[in-house]
Amino acid sequence: MSATDLTELTVAEMRDGLKAKRFSAVELTQAHIRAMEQARVLNAFIVETPELALEQAKAADAAIARGEAGPLAGIPLGIKDLFCTKGVQTTAASKILEGFVPTYESTVSANLLRDGAVMLGKLNLDQFAMGSSNETSAFGNVLNPWRGKNGEHLVPGGSSGGSSSAVAARIVAAATGTDTGGSIRQPAAFTGISGIKPTYGRCSRWGIVAFASSLDQAGPMARTIQDCAILLKSMCGFDPKDSTSLDLPVPDFEKALTGDIRGLKVGIPKEYRVDGMPAEIEALWQKGMDWLKAAGAEIVDISLPHTQYALPTYYIVAPAEASSNLARYDGVRYGLRVVPENGSLIDMYEATRAAGFGREVKRRIMIGTYVLSAGYYDAYYVKAQKVRALIAQDFENAYKSCDVILTPTAPSAAFAFGAKSADPLSMYLNDVFTVPASLAGLPALSVPAGVDADGLPLGLHLIGRKLDEETVLKVGHVIEQAAQFTAKPEKWWVK
């Protein structure tokens, strides 16, 4: 099998091929290392770890030969550079952490390595996961492997843009992402891949650089729903080191993909029909309903009345938590330190944070500090938490009459660099469909379902009940089968 053929395989096909000894983990890893080297123009990686990957691949081959292989033995993955990796630089795409090499492994990446996965490197992202377009990284923009109709470069979505770009370009078999307000699902939609944010607490947050602790959740990004299900099983699990981790058994998510959704009720929220939504996205949403109906599901209208308050609520809660979490980056213990001549300790703090944080991070810290300050805490933060509870209640009420909710993933296809970066509000509106599920801590999935008039991928979005990833994946799999999305970007980056 040629190197290109190996990189085209899904995770499930790689797993089965390795088991049947049709190729080795080393061959599979070498094929992906070659693809990674050829695709450097995409800037998907902050750190490449080819030597480490080959070591892990050799260990996987030995485990397969002994009959002791883990469920992900030999599968080459990319790890978002928000997950601490022992002995490998972890930056959260910020200058303030450049050169920081953790002495420990995040629980999620440790789980993947325990199951035999191979790490190709650390993937680029929006700085501290703050952004929807991968334009805020201190290490440069990530390019979407898809290009505009005139050949212009497009954003890969954010914050997990390095992950989405690498998966779509076939540089990695799959990748880890994190999702605070849509950072797995929106980039998945922009690059024509799948991605799931599990229920808050399903995956441990220990060892993931924190943005907003009550929202952050890790999840897999891959080319198929089956691959997402395989990875999610390895990533999940109780972790006593994370007080928000759920002590519950992890289902075999792959077994849920039965294709049988007869009798399931699919809710369509009227509030998601937003003004100015492109007709193509409206039409795709309708197509999604038709596919599910044809598979035996019942389409029901539902209402999520507080949806209109989700974005403002999110942009109070998330920056408030960020302002608190990012206070630790002070130039004292790790990362960047800028010491002004004859300056005081306060001068050092100020100079370090001014030089180390990017504009979007500073903007969110300032918003967060403001809403937590004396005199404004009750007016903003406390009120936002009350509205968040109402948004969660809306979903609880909706699930009395449906089993899963179907919406578009994003209000547009991928856009060109600079198209929205000058206007933060226009950028924040990218997350209008994904934020409510994050505020409520619900599992949600994006599945590639079609292309727009320019041939760019569009995603459909499923939101499930708490801890019901199985239904979300099952319905997503039915959409995937019906959509038969086979479009992929041309490899313009391979010279």
For residues 6 and 171, give the distance between their C-alpha atoms in angstroms, rounded to a whole number: 11
Output the pLDDT for position 434.
95
Q: Is 132 a catalytic residue?
A: no
pTM, rounded to two decimals: 0.96
Residue of 106, 133, 137, 183 marked catalytic: 183
Q: Is 420 a catalytic residue?
A: no
Q: What's the average pLDDT block by block, 10 residues per block, for the chain (495 residues)?
A: 85 97 97 97 98 98 96 98 98 94 97 98 97 93 96 95 98 98 97 98 97 95 98 98 97 97 97 85 96 98 95 94 92 88 90 90 93 91 96 97 97 90 74 94 98 95 98 98 96 90
Half-sphere exposure of 439 (CA within 13 A, CB side): 32
Q: What angle, rounded to 10 degrees, do the helices at 310-325 and 383-398 form?
A: 130
Sheet hosting strand 118-123, strand order edge to edge? 45-48, 118-123, 76-80, 174-179, 217-222, 194-197, 444-451, 457-464, 404-408, 265-269, 298-302
What is the topology classification, in CATH, of domain 3-260? Amidase signature (AS) enzymes (3.90.1300)
For residues 386 and 447, give the distance between their C-alpha atoms in angstroms, rounded to a whole number: 31
Output the pLDDT for position 119.
98
For residues 111 and 117, give the distance between their C-alpha atoms in angstroms, rounded to a whole number: 9
For residues 324 and 352, give the distance between their C-alpha atoms in angstroms, rounded to a whole number: 17
For residues 214 and 180, give the distance between their C-alpha atoms in angstroms, rounded to a whole number: 9
Query: Do 251 and 199 contact (CB within 8 A), yes or no?
Result: no
For the chain, the structural domain boundaries read 3-260
Output the pLDDT for position 160.
97
Residue of 132, 159, 164, 245 marked catalytic: 159
